[in-house]
Structure 1
Amino acid sequence: MRKLTYFIATTVDGFIGAPDGDADFIYSYVDSEFIGLLTAEYPETISAAGRKQLGIEDAPPKRFDAVIMGRNTYEPGLKAGLPSPYGHMREQYVVSRSLTTPPDPQVRLISGDLVAAVREMKARDGLGIWLCGGADLAAQLADEIDEYVVKTYPVVVGTGMPMSRAGFGVRPLELTGCTALGGGQVVTSYDVKR
């Protein structure tokens, strides 16, 4: 069975974006060492445009062959002329009630029962499924997430969009990996204890 992994960037105090959802401030904490880690361990999480710029457009997926993102996560790429940001993956999903047709033939829309759709995806053969963002999707899928990979940047912002809007609930995790980088970034991975 495939795993659903919430692979997300956050501040030390647990925010993935500003109060309006903008996360551009995070990019100032992305350096060459961090890009090297992504390229080596998670090449499929780099957008098609970024992969081309880095010369890794032919790098095979290592962990994920499907990505799920919310409309707000998808929108910036769409506005920048990237209607298929992860076209190198086997499956791209956008969760939206407002989009009625996919902006690109490689993008599939989920407008109905998200949990049922994810359970069906998990039952199919393949690599893992990357939950790309954001807080509302993480809340809706809280009981379906099997793993967290958290990229923590060395910054505190005080308020903003949280990693999840799931509300209070004790969800035990098991630490499975931790990598500290020279720029102060820390990448931790956790399996969900069931």
Structure 2
Amino acid sequence: MRKLTYYIACSIDGFIGDPGGDANSFMAFLDEEYLAYMNAEYPETIPTEARKALGCDGVPNKRFDTVIQGRGSYQIALDAGLPSPYGHLREIVASRTLTESPHPNVEIVHHDIVGRVRALKAEDGDLGIWLCGGSQIAGELIDEIDELVIKAYPQVYGSGMPMFGSGFAISDFTLDAVRSFGNGVVVRTYHRKR
């Protein structure tokens, strides 16, 4: 069975964006050491256009072959004129408001994202599924998340968009690895305790 990984950037107090969803302040931490790590360990999480600019277009996917995101996260790409931001992956967008896909590579799921994720997890394959964001879809999919990869940036937001936009429920995970960088970023990896 394939696993669903929530690979996400957040502040040290657990916010993935400011109250409007903007997380551009994290960009200040993309230094050479950290980018080299991300490019080597998670190359498929780099948007297609950035892969071309970085010279890693054509690098095989290492962990994921599918990306899932909510409408808010996807809207950022649409606003930038990128209707298929991760064209090197199968792209799925959970949205109740998009009536049709703006790109042939993007599948819109209007209802039952949990059922769609369960079907994806049941597929044969060595690569997993990346939950890109945002908060609301992570809250809906909390019970399906098998792994968390949390890139914690050394900033405190105080308020904003939480990692999980859901009601209170305890979900236990076990720490697998911690990697720290000179810029203050800490990447923690957890797996779901079953």
User: Which TM bucket (shorter chain)?
Assistant: over 0.9
The corresponding residue for 2:175 is 175
Task: Provide the rounded CA distance (Å) in 2 between the counterparts of 1:51 and 1:87.
Answer: 11
Deviation at 1:80, TM superposition (A): 1.0
Task: Provide the rounded CA distance (Å) in 2 between the counterparts of 1:187 and 1:53.
Answer: 24
The corresponding residue for 1:92 is 91
Task: Provide the rounded CA distance (Å) in 2 between the counterparts of 1:137 and 1:167.
Answer: 13
Q: How does 1:9-28 map to 2 (within 5 A)?
A: 9-28=9-28
For normalisation by structure 1, the TM-score amounts to 0.97
The root-mean-square deviation of aligned C-alpha atoms, in Å, is: 0.8
Deviation at 1:85, TM superposition (A): 0.6
Identify the range of structure 1 (20-29 vs 138-147) with the bigger mean alpha-carbon deviation: 20-29
Task: Provide the rounded CA distance (Å) in 1 between the counterparts of 2:114 and 2:21.
Answer: 23
The corresponding residue for 1:115 is 114
Q: How does 1:108-187 map to 2 (within 5 A)?
A: 108-126=107-125, 127-187=127-187
Deviation at 1:24, TM superposition (A): 1.2
Q: Which runs of 4+ in 1 moved over 2 A?
A: none
Q: Deviations over 1:40-78 (max 9, x none)?
A: 000000000110111000110111100000011011111
Q: Which SS does the other structure have where 2:74 is aligned?
A: helix
Identify the range of structure 1 (163-172 vs 117-126) with the bigger mean alpha-carbon deviation: 163-172
Task: Provide the rounded CA distance (Å) in 1 between the counterparts of 2:15 and 2:31.
Answer: 20
Deviation at 1:146, TM superposition (A): 0.4
Task: Provide the rounded CA distance (Å) in 2 between the counterparts of 1:99 and 1:132.
Answer: 18
List runs of 5+ in structure 1 lacking aligned partners. Answer: none
Q: Deviations over 1:154-177 (max 9, x none)?
A: 111111100002222221111111
Deviation at 1:88, TM superposition (A): 0.7
Identify the range of structure 1 (58-67 vs 76-85) with the bigger mean alpha-carbon deviation: 76-85
List runs of 5+ in structure 2 lacking aligned partners. Answer: none
Q: Give the partner amino acid of 1:17.
A: G
For normalisation by structure 2, the TM-score amounts to 0.97
Task: Provide the rounded CA distance (Å) in 1 between the counterparts of 2:15 and 2:30.
Answer: 16
Task: Provide the rounded CA distance (Å) in 2 between the counterparts of 1:94 and 1:37.
Answer: 27
Q: How does 1:38-117 map to 2 (within 5 A)?
A: 38-89=38-89, 91-117=90-116
Task: Provide the rounded CA distance (Å) in 2 between the counterparts of 1:103 and 1:32.
Answer: 34
Task: Provide the rounded CA distance (Å) in 1 between the counterparts of 2:169 and 2:108.
Answer: 29
Q: Give the partner amino acid of 2:103.
A: D
